[in-house]
Amino acid sequence: MSLPLANQQHDHNQCIETALQTARQLCQEKGARLTALREQVLKIVWQSHKPLGAYAVMDILAEQDTRRIAPPTVYRALDFLLEHGLVHRINVLNAYMGCSHPGSAHAHNFLICRACDVAIEFETDSLDRALHSSARAYDFEITGQAIELIGLCANCREETDHEAG
Amino acid sequence: MSLPLANQQHDHNQCIETALQTARQLCQEKGARLTALREQVLKIVWQSHKPLGAYAVMDILAEQDTRRIAPPTVYRALDFLLEHGLVHRINVLNAYMGCSHPGSAHAHNFLICRACDVAIEFETDSLDRALHSSARAYDFEITGQAIELIGLCANCREETDHEAG
DNA sequence: TTAAGTCGTGTAATATAATAACATAACGCC
DNA sequence: GGCGTTATGTTATTATATTACACGACTTAA
């Protein structure tokens, strides 16, 4: 199995372009208004594969744009994007990142590297099954989930090994 | 399978007592100092099976004690308790709750009822296996995890059903 | 028994994250 | 154009968490 794109050298502009295109299409289909501001925020969040805090987004927004940007502006845009599945919130980091598979119904599971901060979105049937079977065992109805694994990605572990060895 | 204690009528004083006893023993074994303040905070966190915010803990502490309590006091105590596995942090709620199985090596998975706020700690082999197999697939080394499932517990779902029906 | 060192706690200020409440502007539709 | 709805702007505030430094209590060893 090959490593996820986030861990490889890749043309990230392509990631951004794809994300924006998909977002536009999905919003059009749903009749949701992907306004200039919302698209700008989505693009900022997609600048890298690292989750970005709301205030970081705000700062970048302020740089790109001369007008003064206040927190609600950013949070509203993020809320819109969250609602439509275009970004995810990483709770352990209080941060936001672009969704890699918007549109497709899928669970939101993350591997978060504490060295390089990259967050990798993944899904597996076995995990979903295990989660639902646990919930069933406790007679619990799942309506949302936050699965966040912290650790070291392949790249960073390599570097650490080199330093150590 | 019977419902977890948190969902049943039970003598909660017993929960608290057990938690405190276990904590004292574990700390003694490890040479960690469970000071009066730390024990007091642990007891407060254990007042219920609902995660409690740091500032809520602070308010209760202030009520119990005439001296003024500042945030660092609480956070330091919580940090100590977290370090020694006596409490958990629930990220989706920015809140803390007592650990049901301190001392035993175990993963920290939670079912969080959004109606009654009770959080149930659970563990299953299949979930652990699925998590580790996912991590392996992405060549990722797990060092920490936050598995938080949001939804409705059995009790609350019953009530909702009654209302609806 | 005191001096030095460590660890725990107190205190003030500040950083970071998020929301409330209300005003204004843009858009979509007759 | 006028009207209702949705989006954005603006100010203030709340919620969560940390920094930095001071003080005190206990530990150990000269």
Determine the pLDDT at residue B121: 96
pLDDT for B165 beyond 50: no
Determine the pLDDT at residue A53: 98
Contacts of A147 in chain B (CB under 8 A): 146-148
CA(A47)–C1'(C13) in Å? 34
| CA-based nearest residue to A144, from A83, A95, A76 | A83
B60 — pLDDT class (breaks 50, 70, 90): very high
pLDDT for B147 beyond 80: yes
Contacts of A117 in chain B (CB under 8 A): none
- From the list B126, B142, B151, the residue facing A151 with the nearest CB is B142
Interface membership of A124 toward B (CB under 8 Å)? yes
Determine the pLDDT at residue B4: 84
Q: Which nucleotides of D are covered by protein (CB under 7 A)?
A: 6-12, 15-20
- What stretches in chain A show pLDDT beneath 70? 1, 160-165
Q: Kindly report, residue by residue over A56-69, the tens digit of the pLDDT.
A: 999 999 999 888 89
Determine the pLDDT at residue A106: 77
Residue B157 in tokens: 């779902």
pTM confidence score: 0.93
Q: What is the mean pLDDT of residues B122-141?
A: 94
Determine the pLDDT at residue A66: 82
Determine the pLDDT at residue A165: 45
pLDDT for B160 beyond 80: no
Percent of chain B with pLDDT over 70: 96
Please say whether the beta carbons of B121 and B108 come within 8 A: yes
Determine the pLDDT at residue B163: 65
Long-range contacts of A121-128 (CB under 8 A, 24+ apart): A121/A88, A121/A97, A122/A4, A122/B134, A122/B137, A122/B138, A124/B130, A124/B133, A124/B134, A124/B137, A126/B126, A126/B129, A126/B130, A126/B133, A126/B134, A127/B127, A127/B130, A127/B131, A127/B134
Q: Kindly report, residue by residue over B96-124, the tens digit of the pLDDT.
A: 999 999 988 777 899 999 999 999 999 88
Q: What is the mean pLDDT of residues B69-88?
A: 97
pLDDT for B158 beyond 90: no
B45 — pLDDT class (breaks 50, 70, 90): very high
Per DSSP, the three-state class of B27 is helix
CA(A70)–C1'(D20) in Å? 29
Interface membership of B5 toward A (CB under 8 Å)? no
Q: Kindly report, residue by residue over A80-101, the tens digit of the pLDDT.
A: 999 999 999 999 999 999 999 9
Determine the pLDDT at residue B105: 76
